[in-house]
Amino acid sequence: MKIVILDAYAANPGDLSWDEFAALGELTVYDRTAQEDAAARIGDAEVVFINKVRLTDEIFAACPNLKLVSILATGYNIVDLAAAKRRGITVCNVPGYSTRAVVQMTFALLLEICQQVGLHSGAVHTGRWQTCPDFCFWNRPLIELDGKTMGIVGYGAIGTAVGAVAQALGMKLLVTARHEKPVPEGARFVSLPELLAQSDVVSLHCPQTAENARMIDAGALAQMKDGAILLNTARGGLLDEQAVADALRSGKLLAAGMDVVSAEPIRADNPLLTAPNCFLTPHIAWAPLETRRRLQAIENFSDLGSGIHIAMQDLDIRGAGNLLGAEQSGFIADLGYETYQKILSEAVKELKNDEFGDLYAEEIRKGNDLGGENFVDECALESDLQMSFPDDYVPSSSERMLLYRELDGLERGEDVEAFRLRMKDRFGEIPEEGEELIRVVTLRHLGKCLGAEKIFLKAGRMVLYFVQNEKSAYFESKAFGQCIAYAAMNAHRSNLREANGRRSMVIQEVRSVKDAVGILRQISELQAV
């Protein structure tokens, strides 16, 4: 198999190795490739890795052996997907590898705007502090984020993580996205105009599409608060850059932080270069060593026949016998064992619900029923209930953290009970909020067994969000049948619903984790319909 990497330098300027890629086939690596040279360099290769080189239908036509395009990034707008599909070429990207790094950059830009660290460090180094008549000075007004409103446009993995950090800093949170999504306590899902009008900080975290190109134009900027801050770590094409520059000059925008621009590298005539209070970085949010190492490791485990998703399905083909052997241990080391396990679990779940869904459905039809845990890797919980070990019960904060981490790792009922007995023996009778926390382990286990990917336990009701793929064999399983049976028997307090292709069940009058555990146990004991 011939493999070509067209623009390797960005992902690996020399601090990482391509050896693991070379082990997959005959590898040719180009640090950089001009657009006009792409077809010739791909030639008769079956696999091509790209970062920013654009692949068009014309290039595909000139490269008839091409079977796989693997993007060393998250965004896939550089590939003509329709042309690839028409020609039977699989396209893979790598979502998730740089989420934390992009969140970090988002707040690096925001905090630089608020605290002006670079400006004041420069002033200190030039002697300003030495000659200052006061014990401190500031060259520009500083901004406190607590109480300000963060508006997040796009609420995928990165947007969600940015929102969590914003709330941790005491910010209010508004969210908008193409489709309405659940948001954490204290946040609101609103329309884009409402978000623009009410936000002190607007941060973009959505993919660029034909529909949202230049969405932040003069009209959108006019809707924003006077003196708002604009952040963009997504795609430069989301902005009308001239309009943003004009808003900075007029004072409509206090400042802007940009890691991306419409044409990269940035052109000399880009209006943002001369705009006041515009902080620009050269598209480096994704670039920490750790994220690039993770990117390489994930790509090396990519299935050569998957669609646009993180792909590790080849593990099923290779077999699991040597997963932890010497041959692959380097990948695990690069990823981090916990991250590796998570990616593997997600890949297996995806196989069950998508590519191999028919096989699982056939197993069910044969009477070999599969529980919900066969389709769900983990059941997450979001709740507004009081669940913790109080300070007066476990005084040490570090010890509480260790206990929380230990509890989170428990799965078996006997382990949970042993944990409870140890707590009683060491700290005394467990307060109710501590008991509620311990019950969460059982709740998540029951939810997983019933095929719930997420449980919302808020405002006196429980919502079970089932397997996201509505065509999954899960919906023929006994577990889903039990949920249907419960809804039919308890129509006064529960109902099944479907919104945006996602099925869920709402159960009213659930006011504690204890109540929720009791209900899920009832469901688990029912005969499926």
| Residue with more model confidence, 163 or 471 | 163
Pick the CATH number of 2-97+289-353 from 3.40.630.30, 3.40.1440.10, 3.40.50.720, 3.90.220.20: 3.40.50.720
Is the domain covering 99-280 a CATH 3.40.50.720 domain?
Answer: yes
Tokens standing for residue 367: 């009477």
Task: Pick the catalytic residue from 235, 293, 309, 445.
Answer: 235
438: how many CB neighbours lie within 10 A of its CB?
19
Mean pLDDT of 435-459: 90
Domain ranges of the chain: 2-97+289-353, 99-280, 372-524
Tokens standing for residue 424: 């009683």
Query: For 24-33, 159-168, 306-315, which range has the lowest pLDDT when averaged over its residues?
Result: 306-315
- Whether 524 shows a pLDDT value over 70: the answer reads yes
Tokens standing for residue 161: 């993580």
Q: Dump pLDDT digits (tens) for 335-345.
A: 444 444 454 45
Q: What is the DSSP string of 455-513?
A: EEEETTEEEEEE-S-TTSGGGGSHHHHHHHHHHHHTTTTEEEEEETTEEEEEEE---SH
Going from the C-alpha of 226 to that of each of 110, 166, 247, 252, 271, the distances in angstroms are 17, 21, 10, 5, 21
Q: Dump pLDDT digits (tens) for 402-415.
A: 888 788 778 778 88
| 363 has catalytic annotation | no
Rounded (10°) angle between helices 289-300 and 99-115: 160
User: Contact 55/69 with Cβ under 8 angstroms?
Assistant: yes
User: Contact 461/510 with Cβ under 8 angstroms?
Assistant: yes
Q: Do domains 2-97+289-353 and 372-524 have the same CATH topology?
A: no
Mean pLDDT of 144-165: 94
Q: What is the DSSP string of 121-165?
A: HHHHHTTTTTT-SSS---SS-----TT-EEEEE--SHHHHHHHHH
Task: Pick the catalytic residue from 264, 327, 362, 498.
Answer: 264
pLDDT at position 344 is: 46
- Whether 209 shows a pLDDT value over 70: the answer reads yes
Mean pLDDT of 317-344: 39
Q: Dump pLDDT digits (tens) for 43-92.
A: 999 999 998 899 999 999 999 999 999 888 877 778 998 899 899 898 88
pLDDT at position 38 is: 96
| 264 has catalytic annotation | yes
Banded pLDDT at 346 (limits 50, 70, 90): low
Task: Pick the catalytic residue from 20, 120, 205, 283.
Answer: 283
- Whether 321 shows a pLDDT value over 70: the answer reads no
Instruction: Choose among 150, 136, 148, 141: nearest CA to 115.
Output: 141
In whole angstroms, give the CA distance from residue 489 to residue 482. 11
> What is the fold, at CATH topology level, of the domain defined by 372-524?
Aspartate Aminotransferase, domain 1 (3.90.1150)
pLDDT at position 318 is: 27
Q: How many helices (H) and strands (E) does the chain have?
A: 20, 17
- Whether 130 shows a pLDDT value over 90: the answer reads yes
Q: What is the DSSP string of 154-217?
A: --SHHHHHHHHHHHHTT-EEEEE-SS-----TTEEE--HHHHHHH-SEEEE-----TTTTT-BS
pLDDT at position 163 is: 95
